[in-house]
Structure 1
Amino acid sequence: MTRQPPGAALTTGALARRLGVSPTTLRSWDRRYGLGPAVRTDGRHRRWTPEDVAVLERMCRLTSTGVPPAEAARAARAGTGARVSRPPSRAAGPLPLGDVRQECRGLARAAVRLDAPAVEARLSEAVERYGVAVAWQEVMVPALHAVGRKWASSGDRYVEVEHLLSWHVSTVLRRRSRPPLPMDATARGPVLLACVPDEQHTLALEAVNAELGQLRVPARMFGAAVPAEALTAAVRRLGPAAVVLWSQARSTASPALARHIAATEWGPKGARGRPLVLLGGPGWAGRSLPGVSRPTGLREALDTLAGLHERS
């Protein structure tokens, strides 16, 4: 084995974190394209030198712009001056992220490559390291917004990137959720989480649901496009402490529905209750409704909802 000074080589796991790919991807590139390390330990463990890292950084840059992996590998080994044929027009390029956490950049690179194991790993690592609220706001949301902007400006391109990323965000959030808590008859009712009618975007509510489970606040998740009549019936049956109404687009936001839910009562005469209604999502921007709360972000919403149950 070629001897290297201490600290000169990286392990596969460390390099994967640096590049924003999965260790499985690095091992696959080694087997398929010969992009292996120049140094291996006596136990055949990979150790990646700065020269190896430079090659793989070129590989990541090329694959993120849609160059086929085999062609990208030849160009990466040849150096930065190598010429490669450009992919068809549907190939996905890098996402416009701006100033974001490094974990978000790694997640975006993995999503553009449609590297599902790496996407799953980056999401799980972010949630484990920062918790749901921070991981959602500072890692998941910027990546999702960047995909959305690319999709909007590129016709039908990036649809597959958005679908894959959304699926794995949902998977990780649901895995983080605890089993629904039973309702205590002596305590306040649960938090109801629902998208307004015609609204299909549920990821933000899934983040709220996961974090409420961690806070031990009972919640009932109704998901996408809940009909107004069904939501009203659920409020009367469950007597919730709060109802969170999510609207992604202004076209789906319904002030009339929000007012109706806020005025819905349950319980016997003389002891009737009403829910606190929280409006979530950009669809509610610019709308101010008396007696209805519009938190500025996930953390404020969670603090409000947890506070209701702390006072019960």
Structure 2
Amino acid sequence: MGLSISKVAALCGVSPYTLRAWEKRYRLPKPAREANGYRTYTDDQVGLLRQMARLVHVGVPPRHAADYVLGVRSVLDANAPRELVDRLGSGEWSFEALTAGLQMSLGTVDLAEVADTWLLPMLELVGEEWASGRISIEQEHMLAAAVMGQLSLLWDAAPALRMTTPLVLAGLPSGCQHQIGIYAFATAMRRIGWQVVYLGADLPAENWAQAATRQRARAAIIAVPMLDDVAPAQQLVAALAQARPGLLIGVGGRHQHLVDHPAAIPLGHQFVPAIGQLRALMGISAVASR
């Protein structure tokens, strides 16, 4: 026997009126009706409604929450970057809503693919909107914190490392702080089984060289997201090439083309082809890295 609408409403922390509205507006599964016309809900339906209620409670718009619980689309991934940035600027997305959406959207997809199609375009658009004054520095920082938090969860939840793959270092040169892109790339590699050591932001060249030598790294991946990062990136590439000859040094980020050193290998601006390029350079088969 199913549960009544009043009991389900209590379990979800919403009113019976809200449950009836969700059923009418968002195509949530219709409950069975008893002879007297009263609704009765199955356990599966209650689970969907509780998930819907949790998303709405943290600020996800009901139509997006309904699409997610019904499997129509993920909370954030299916939204164009423009839509998300507009919602961020209007204050519609709270920090909790961003976090909830990121947790359920990015954790179930290929991170490299979603980075190319959504995450990186969205971050670039956020930077443009901040520069033009259409979103505040507080909103930009809120989004950055939500993204970094989710990437950390994905890093920790990555499958067991395949010790047969070469070890890769990833991070930023001395003085460089904008680490979302490089951390996302490192996380994407780790999630397909690569041995990745993330060294973080603002690491001096001598410490990079020590890490590469001590850990016998096969590759080092750095990013040059800002124009001011070009000079320290060039110094880092030179230091790594001298400390560990033969080290594969991949360079990403918006200003990668300005790093002028024979050891620097530009990786382009998309994750999927960059990972493919590294796989080919290091002789890692697609099967071995999954």
**Same fold by TM-score, threshold 0.5 exceeded?**
yes
Pairwise mapping of residues 7-26 of structure 1 onto structure 2 (< 5 A)?
Answer: 9-11=25-27, 22-24=55-57
- 1:204 Cα deviation after fit: 1.1
Partner Cα distance (1:293, 1:27) in 2: 41
Partner Cα distance (1:176, 1:169) in 2: 11
- 1:298 Cα deviation after fit: 1.4
Taking structure 1 as the reference length, the TM-score comes to 0.61
1:264 maps to which residue?
243
2:210 maps to which residue?
233
The range that moved more, 168-177 or 191-200, is 168-177
Unmatched 5+ residue regions in structure 2? 1-15, 30-53, 67-76
Residues 302 and 293 from structure 1, CA distance in 2 versus in 1: closer, same or farther, beyond 3 angstroms?
same
Q: Is the 8 Å Cα contact of residues 12 and 26 (structure 1) preserved in structure 2?
A: no
- 1:211 Cα deviation after fit: 1.2
Unmatched 5+ residue regions in structure 1? 14-20, 30-45, 47-99, 266-272
- 1:262 Cα deviation after fit: 2.4
2:170 maps to which residue?
193
- Give the RMSD, CA atoms, in angstroms: 3.6
Structure 1 residue corresponding to 2:141, chosen from 143, 163, 167: 163
Higher helix share: 2
Secondary structure of the residue that 1:9 maps to in structure 2?
helix
Q: How many residues align?
A: 223
Q: Aligned partner of 1:198: which letter?
A: G
2:125 aligned with 1:152: no
2:254 maps to which residue?
282
- 1:260 Cα deviation after fit: 2.8
Residues 303 and 9 from structure 1, CA distance in 2 versus in 1: closer, same or farther, beyond 3 angstroms?
same
Q: Aligned partner of 1:148: which letter?
A: G
1:176 maps to which residue?
154
Partner Cα distance (2:60, 2:97) in 1: 13
**Higher-Rg member (1/2):** 1
Q: Is the 8 Å Cα contact of residues 248 and 281 (structure 1) preserved in structure 2?
A: yes
Q: Deviations over 1:114-157 (max 9, x none)?
A: 512221233234324542112222222222222211221229x6
Partner Cα distance (1:143, 1:286) in 2: 24
**Percent identity among equivalent residues?**
18
2:98 maps to which residue?
119
Q: Is the 8 Å Cα contact of residues 227 and 255 (structure 2) preserved in structure 1?
A: yes
Secondary structure of the residue that 1:142 maps to in structure 2?
helix
Q: Deviations over 1:142-197 (max 9, x none)?
A: 22222211221229x6101111100111111111124696684xx56410002011
Residues 168 and 25 from structure 1, CA distance in 2 versus in 1: closer, same or farther, beyond 3 angstroms?
closer
